[in-house]
Amino acid sequence: MKYQLCLLFPLVVLLLAAVIIRRLIVPRWVRNGSETPAVLDCEYVYNENDLKLVVKWFFNDGAEPVYQWIPEMGVREAFGVLRQRLDDTFSVSSRDAYSQYRAIRILRPTWELSGKYTCVVTSLAGQDARHQHMTIFVPAKTFSFNYSNSPPPLDRLPRPQSPDLPLSLQCVARGTFPKPVLTLFLLKGGRRRPATEAGLRTFTTATIEDGLFDVALHADAFEGHVSSLADLFECVLEIPYSNYMLTRRMTVAHGGGGRIHETTRAFSKGQGDT
């Protein structure tokens, strides 16, 4: 038994001495086309056992790396989606020859680079890997909230017991990425609640063109019931995995009068924390 422990001990020491990734720094969100580059860093510790050190970055579980750096050979190269997208002068340290080019700096990041980034550091002593997702979001090209007295399609509303006209609310966001979430709220007497809680039926349609989403939220009511439902209607646009949000508010008066209130909250400056 003692002999077996003696054999295992050098192996345990060797495994513990292999390179270890200490921290992976990847922005959670970045605005599409931002002038501020996106820096993805992979901090690791190594020692004299880590011969033939190689740093690789992978995108969306691809089999081939999108970036590779071999310190001992002085070779680094970007591939695939990152080819010609990186700042080839960027380094995190000029003093440490085995950490100098571990990070990647993406210039003018665009939405198609959204996804999972994995850093893999290997050596003859072992390897370590970590991953993180980054979303590069596209704000809505247009965002509108309006209504009409046109009858809703497919007879979505039950037939009224009064001569009230059907009223269709429509909130539309165009040209966004990833697919946005639209939510309708009703404000009355200082209270704000989702339209669905008030019994207002809503549904959402979406189309995609050139990778960008157009999304519309529809809600139907009767004109005579509007004042009892809400003083204000509010549509909120949120882009998942980011801090970007827009709000539009609208009043609808009985008899066809109406007014749009635009309240914009767009928290999209800078980049998200890791």
Architecture of domain 2-137: Sandwich (2.60)
Between the alpha carbon of residue 81 and those of residues 1, 78, 99, 147, 263, the distances in Å are 53, 8, 23, 43, 37
Name which of 236, 251, 99, 224 is nearest 162 in CA terms.
224
- CA torsion through residues 138, 139, 142, 143, sign: positive
∠ at Cα 239 (236, 240), nearest 5°?
Answer: 120
Fold match, 2-137 / 142-263: yes
* pTM (two decimals): 0.80
Predicted confidence (pLDDT) per residue in 218-265, tens digit: 998 776 667 677 788 999 999 999 999 999 998 876 554 555 444 444
Q: What does the block give as tokens for 127?
A: 């390897």
Predicted confidence (pLDDT) per residue in 155-213, tens digit: 554 554 555 667 889 999 999 999 999 999 998 888 899 988 877 889 999 999 999 99
Q: Domain 142-263 has what CATH class?
A: mainly beta
Cα–Cα distance, 106 to 110 (Å, whole number): 9
Are the C-beta atoms of 220 and 147 separated by less than 8 Å?
no
Q: Which amino acid is at 171?
A: C
Q: Where are the domains positioned within the chain?
A: 2-137, 142-263
Cα–Cα distance, 71 to 52 (Å, whole number): 8
Give bridge partners of residue 186 from the DSSP assignment: 193, 233
